[in-house]
């Protein structure tokens, strides 16, 4: 039977939740509670959590229970990711988190309308389903996954859409890191508005 996901966001398809160290981007190195929601139709062929794509595989979970689990840990930062978390209404979940004094970060492709109340928005646009133009100006961080040389032009295209204060990151796709990272290093040296993001959690062998 298909999930009947409430439009008010009080129940969400939860793939996994865990307390760890943020591995990439602006907040790399910080303790954070990760909430990974199931469901995604963006379809990146190099996605490392393809099991997140089908929301039906992941149990509908009370948003209140998710908040209670997050509140048990000393790090008062939650990262909501997926899948593509903005498929769902995140107003309720984020409002309850913030009432508990927990900061709310999101990682999104920007392909769906923004819901929720956020302390930080990481926009990671994908060619497979381009982001909505109304999300880019709100992003604190633009993170481009570099899979091949054409992704640098894609990165510049989106850098023009974000605010002047948005942090700009180029991140090598993990499976091609050995060949792509040298290209990113050279590109950042020539274009210093960009910085390099690495998936440090994979080097540290943590979730």
Name 50's Cβ contacts closer than 8 Å, sequence gap at least 6. Answer: none
48-87 residues labelled b (16+ CB within 10 A) or e (exposed)? eeeebbebeebeebebeebbebbeebebebbbbbbbbbbb
Provide the whole-model pTM: 0.94
The residue that leads in pLDDT, 30 or 206, is 30
Q: Where are the alpha helices (DSSP H) in 77-199?
A: 91-99, 151-159, 177-190
pLDDT score recorded for residue 202:
82
11-204 folds as: TIM Barrel (3.20.20)
* pLDDT exceeds cutoff 70 at 1: no
């Amino acid at each position: 039977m298909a999930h009947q996901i409430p439009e008010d966001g009080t129940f969400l398809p939860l793939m996994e939740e865990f307390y760890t160290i943020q591995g990439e981007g602006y907040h790399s190195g910080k303790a954070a509670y990760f909430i990974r929601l199931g469901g995604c139709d963006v379809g990146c062929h190099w996605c490392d959590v393809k099991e997140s794509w089908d929301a039906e595989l992941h149990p509908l979970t009370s948003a209140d229970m998710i908040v209670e689990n997050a509140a048990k840990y000393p790090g008062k930062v939650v990262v909501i990711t997926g899948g593509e978390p903005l498929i769902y209404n995140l107003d309720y979940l984020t409002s309850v988190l913030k009432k508990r004094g927990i900061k709310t970060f999101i990682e999104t492709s920007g392909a769906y309308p923004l819901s929720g109340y956020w302390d930080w928005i990481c926009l990671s646009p994908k060619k497979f389903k381009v982001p909505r133009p109304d999300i880019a100006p709100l992003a604190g961080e633009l993170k481009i996954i570099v899979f091949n040389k054409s992704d640098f032009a894609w990165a510049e295209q989106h850098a023009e859409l974000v605010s002047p204060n948005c942090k700009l990151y180029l991140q090598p796709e993990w499976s091609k890191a050995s060949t792509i990272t040298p290209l990113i290093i050279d590109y950042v040296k020539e274009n210093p508005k960009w910085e390099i993001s690495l998936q440090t959690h994979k080097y540290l062998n943590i979730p």
